[in-house]
Structure 1
Amino acid sequence: MKSNDTETEQYLSTSNRISGWIVIAIGVVGLLDIVLEWRTASGIMVGSVIAILMVLAYCGLVRPSVTLSPETIVLRNHLRDRVIPWNQVSGADVADILRVHTDAGRFRAPGVQLVMRDLRKQRVGGRKLSADSSLSRADIVVGRIEAHMDQYGAVDGGAVKTNWARPELTAIAVLAVIAIVAALLR
């Protein structure tokens, strides 16, 4: 199966993203209540803590993904990204989450994960797994990675790069400082 050179493919956990956005929405409601009702240092401190929890929910549930492009595979983890050129990828498999193998090591990607319920069904041999089970989706992602390896692996793309999630880390640091200052001013 050949990919279109101009397209990228992104794989992620839909259920995690939905849960993350629900947590963030609840946090927004809490922040709105604080803004409308409390105008004290305690309110600022509580609002900062809620905002930190919202950023952590984003980092843990919404942010992780796997992006395949003709040049690289990008493993977007909770607080850092791994940009891996196809010539560096030697394989991929799924244990509990996707693992991409390179000569530099094995990189884990929580954007593609297996649901324990599907693993139990597979081991026990109970009810048949549905076509949209996490096992089927994970197998599709591994297959797409292998297809990209075959198609783009000959092109030298350089070394594996690691980028930290600077906006998220900065937001957490700034909110923590605001919470500490507000706690000291109470």
Structure 2
Amino acid sequence: MNAKQPSENEQYLSASNRITAVVVMVIGSLGLIDIVAEWRTLGGLVAGCLIALLMLAAYVGLFRPSVTLRPDSLLIRNHIRDHVVPWNLITDVDMTDILRVHVGDRRLRCPGVQLVMRDMRKQRVGGSKLKADSSVSRAEFVVDRIDYHLSKYGESGSADAQVVTSWARPELGIAAVLAVVALIAQLLR
């Protein structure tokens, strides 16, 4: 594959997961609108909080994960944590069922880039040919892009660079608030 010149940032994610998350969030929003319009009770508040928690779970599990290639580092957004990995610390990149980035003896899993089981079976059996837009082809493209960035920026990092890991504070905070409100509403019912 021809590697294109790097842009400022390149983001890779699972489009099908994002579509599923959007569908779930739209259906949840319709449910919340119905509850606000019709169910103005503590039971309605509990139901609304539970629906909002399910919508948040869809966002965190399906919409949030991604891999962003930047000139200075690789940003891995997992379900509830972010990892910023300087290029010079990455020792290897490979695919199992999802993308894995090796940093010394650690392996950071990247659920934003996944292989579809159907494509994995086709690849193993070797029967029907994989389509050009299969998950295997997309994953190989992402691995090639990361390898390109490694060769271009891998030597330019600082000697004292470290992997910076942080929690997804907004998402965890929203989940905590919704759970507390649902619990208080349930106790007051």
User: Equivalent residue for 2:183?
Assistant: 180
- TM-score computed with the length of structure 1 as normaliser: 0.97
Alignment equivalent of 1:3, drawn from 2, 5, 26: 5
Residue 51 of structure 1: how far off its partner (Å): 0.3
**2:142 is aligned with 1:141:** yes
Q: Report the counterpart of residue 108 of structure 1 in structure 2.
A: 109
Equivalent-residue separation in structure 2 for 1:162 and 1:176 (angstroms):
25
1:98 deviation in Å? Answer: 0.2
Residue by residue over 1:98-131, the C-alpha shift from the partner in whole angstroms, topping out at 9 and shown as x without a partner, is 0000115110000000000001111122211000
Q: Where has structure 1 moved over 6 Å in runs of 4 or more?
A: none
Q: Report the 3-state secondary structure (helix = DSSP H, G, I; strand = E; otherwise coil) of the residue aligned with 1:173.
A: helix
**How far apart in 2 are the matches of 1:111 and 1:78?**
9
Q: TM-score, normalised by structure 2?
A: 0.95
Partners in 1 of 2:89 and 2:182 — Cα distance? 43
Q: Counterpart of 1:66 in 2: which secondary structure? A: strand
Deviations 1:59-106 (A, max 9, x none): 000000000010000110000000000000111000000000011511
Is the CA contact 1:2–1:147 (under 8 Å) kept in the aligned structure 2?
no
Measure the CA separation in 1 of the matches of 2:133 and 2:153.
28
CA RMSD of aligned residues (A): 1.0
Q: Percent identity?
A: 58
Give runs of aligned pairs for residues 81-160 of structure 1, distance below 5 A.
Answer: 81-157=82-158, 158-160=161-163
Structure 1 residue 2: Cα displacement = 5.8
Number of residue pairs aligned between Structure 1 and Structure 2 = 185
